[in-house]
Amino acid sequence: MSFKIIIEKILTSNLISFFIKKFTNFNLSFININYSKISPKTSARIFFGLYERAETKLIKKYIRDYNNILEIGGGIGITAKYCFNYNKNINKYYIVEPYSINLEIIKSQNFDFNKIRLIQGCILNSNSELKNLNFSYTKPVLNKYDKSIILEKNPTTEKVQILDENFLLEEIGKTNFFLIIDCELNPSLFISQNEKLFKNCSGMICELEEIEKYSIKNQIDLLTKHDFELKEKLGRVCFFVKKQ
For position 220, which CATH number holds?
3.40.50.150
> Which neighbouring-strand residues pair with 179?
70, 204
pTM above 0.85, yes or no: yes
Give how many domains the chain has, as a whole number: 2
Q: Are residues 108 and 224 in the same domain?
A: yes
Q: Are residues 24 and 71 in the same domain?
A: no
Q: Does the pLDDT of residue 155 top 80, yes or no?
A: no
Note the pLDDT tens digit of each residue in 92-147: 999 999 989 899 999 999 999 999 999 999 888 766 666 787 777 676 665 555 45
pLDDT in the model for residue 134: 79
Q: Are residues 25 and 103 in the same domain?
A: no
Asked if 116 and 91 touch (Cβ cutoff 8 Å), the reply is no
Q: Does the pLDDT of residue 38 top 70, yes or no?
A: yes
pLDDT in the model for residue 129: 65
More confident residue, 162 or 78: 78
Q: What confidence category does residue 52 fall into, taking pLDDT thresholds of 50, 70 and 90?
A: very high
Q: Are residues 73 and 170 in the same domain?
A: yes
Q: Are residues 34 and 135 in the same domain?
A: no
Q: Are residues 34 and 91 in the same domain?
A: no
What are the Cα distances from residue 62, in Å, to 55, 59, 162? 11, 5, 30
Q: Are residues 31 and 71 in the same domain?
A: no
Q: Are residues 112 and 231 in the same domain?
A: yes
More confident residue, 123 or 61: 61
Q: Are residues 185 and 224 in the same domain?
A: yes
Question: Which residues have a Cβ under 8 Å from the Cβ of 26 and sit 6 or more positions away?
Answer: 32, 33, 47
Q: Are residues 95 and 28 in the same domain?
A: no
In angstroms and rounded to an integer, the radius of gyration of the C-alpha atoms of the chain is: 18
Q: What confidence category does residue 156 fall into, taking pLDDT thresholds of 50, 70 and 90?
A: confident
Domain housing 234:
52-242
What are the Cα distances from residue 220, in Å, to 9, 189, 205, 211, 217? 33, 11, 12, 13, 5
Segments in the chain forming alpha helices (H): 3-11, 14-23, 40-47, 53-62, 78-86, 100-107, 165-172, 187-192, 195-198, 216-225
Q: Are residues 131 and 182 in the same domain?
A: yes
Residues 21-40, mean pLDDT to the nearest whole number:
93
Q: Does the pLDDT of residue 201 top 90, yes or no?
A: yes
> Beta strand 177-181 with 156-161: parallel, antiparallel or unpaired?
unpaired
Residues 7-23, mean pLDDT to the nearest whole number:
93
Q: How far is CA 211 from the centre of its chain?
A: 18
Q: Are residues 147 and 62 in the same domain?
A: yes
